[in-house]
Amino acid sequence: MDDLTEMLKGTLEGCVLEIIGSEETYGYAVTRQLNELGFADVVEGTVYTILLRLERNGLVRVTKRPSEVGPPRKFYALNEAGREELARFWAKWQYVSSRIDRLKEGGR
């Protein structure tokens, strides 16, 4: 699949929220999960900028822990504000995607 970056704007952050909402994890692993999920071209730098933004916006709790296979990891977990933001994201997604699907089916 060719370039998806424009279509991911506004949704990739929500995907990262969902991933770290389902289990406490760190940037490198989030990138790998996104790649396996089908977003093969999403690269570490992109995920880290999103994580730093989430931290700056107070949506996550961050815990630094050593790793046995490399540098220390920054583990991210959603706080209450993060869970609310995630819920808002899915509500928006539901709204937008249903309307686009309707447009696709010629429902006008």
- Residues contributing to the site for DNA (CB under 7 A): 4-6, 8-13, 26-29, 41-46, 48-53, 67-74
Q: Taking the complex as a whole, how short is the minimal distance between the CB of residue 106 and DNA, in angstroms?
A: 21
Reading the block at residue 8, the tokens are 């991911």
Alpha helix positions (H), the chain: 5-8, 12-22, 27-37, 44-56, 80-104
- Which lies closer to its own copies via its Cβ, residue 11 or residue 46? 11
Angle at 108 between CA 88 and CA 92, to 5 degrees: 5
Catalog residues that contact its own copies under the rule CB under 8 A: 1-2, 4-11, 15, 18-19, 22, 33, 37-39, 88, 90-93, 95-97, 99-104, 106, 108
Task: List the structure tokens of 52.
Answer: 């730093």
Which pair of tokens denotes residue 99?
A: 């309307």
Nearest 5°: the CA angle 103, 105, 108 is 50
The amino acid at residue 12 is L
Nearer to DNA, 64 or 108 (CB): 64
- Binding partner at 88 among DNA, its own copies, none, C-beta below 5 to 8 Å by kind: its own copies
Task: Using the minimum distance from each CB to its own copies, give the nearer residue, 10 or 45.
Answer: 10
